[in-house]
Amino acid sequence: MLTLSNLTKRYGAQTALDAVSLSIEPGERIALLGHNGAGKSTLMKLVLGLIAADGGRIKVGGHAPGSTGARGLTAYLPENVAFHPALTGREQIRHYLRLRGEDAGRADELLARVGLADAARRRIGTYSKGMRQRVGLAQAIIGAPRLMVLDEPTSGLDPISRRDFYTLLDELAAGGTAVLLSSHALTEVEARTDRIVILSQGKMVATGTLPDLRAKAALPLVVHLMPEAGQGEAVSAAFPEAEMNGVGLSLTTPQAEKLALVARIAALGGKVSDFEILPPSLDDIYTHFSREGAR
């Protein structure tokens, strides 16, 4: 649905994107992660044909970005959507439907799909940020787009709205729409996207499913041990590499040594009241790859 090959963009001496290659299949949901200035918005603007690349190639369903063919397949939700405050949600969506050559009578159905049925007749000027974001989403799903490009779509949404948003994306993806979204909310994309792409200083430093990235980063596991009352010193002596904290001991261990560590804990018998083994979080993985890219 979308192919980027060796895509490069410079702003003067600044290389905002450096030879990025990526393809997205129909129905695939891709999360683009990266620090401020990593190149996420630049990549999206290139895909939409709003700016021109300095090198490489983009194809949107076989069409050049920004061409009539590509625009007919693509929907875009910018990070900060702006609508006319005097229009109601219903009037705004009816307007967009007409612009897209579709039946304006579908406005209520689209607004209901994004949870705005009750507010449809109120002026957008009275909407909260999350409600305006939903109007943006209703606008983006007009015309059953085959590719959705969403720039930080969940910023400003509360947890329930976020969940509803991802449910809607799941439905669109199940119907074959490819989704490219950028986010800083790492934990939510972890569960709700098929593949993660990490950009750092314009370079693609990692791509894969979360298990792929976990395996590639090979970060250690974090282990917390809670000694039984009065057994802190005995447990500490058995795990000299552990650090004491307020409630117990913490240490790290390579993934490959997890079972051996469990055996050491078991050998302490009743001296340990409980333990936890935590895999690296997406934040840890993201930080790892971002640092690698910055080297």
Ligand X SMILES: Nc1ncnc2c1ncn2[C@@H]1O[C@H](COP(=O)(O)OP(=O)(O)OP(=O)(O)O)[C@@H](O)[C@H]1O
**Chain residues in the site for ligand X (CB under 6 A):** 11, 14, 16, 34, 36-42
Least Å from the CB of residue 89 to ligand X: 27
**Closer residue to ligand X (CB): 97 or 199:** 199
Least separation in angstroms between residue 168's CB and ligand X is 23
Nearer to ligand X, 11 or 85 (CB): 11
Min CB(43)–ligand X separation in Å: 7
| C-alpha–C-alpha distance, residues 135 and 127, integer Å | 10
Distance, CA of 255 to CA of 55 (rounded, Å): 41
Shortest Cβ 283–ligand X spacing (Å): 16
**What is the closest distance, in whole angstroms, from the C-beta atom of residue 11 to ligand X in the complex?**
3
Own/partner pairs, 246-254, CB within 8 angstroms, 24+ separation? 248/224, 249/224, 249/225, 250/222, 250/223, 250/224, 250/225, 251/222, 251/223, 251/225, 252/220, 252/221, 252/222, 252/223, 253/220, 253/221, 253/223, 254/218, 254/220, 254/221
Residue 41 or 74 with smaller CB distance to ligand X: 41
- Pick between residue 39 and residue 145 the one whose CB is nearest to ligand X: 39
In the complex with ligand X, the residue whose CB is nearer, 14 or 21, is: 14
Q: Which of 23, 32, 22 is nearest to 180 (CA)?
A: 32
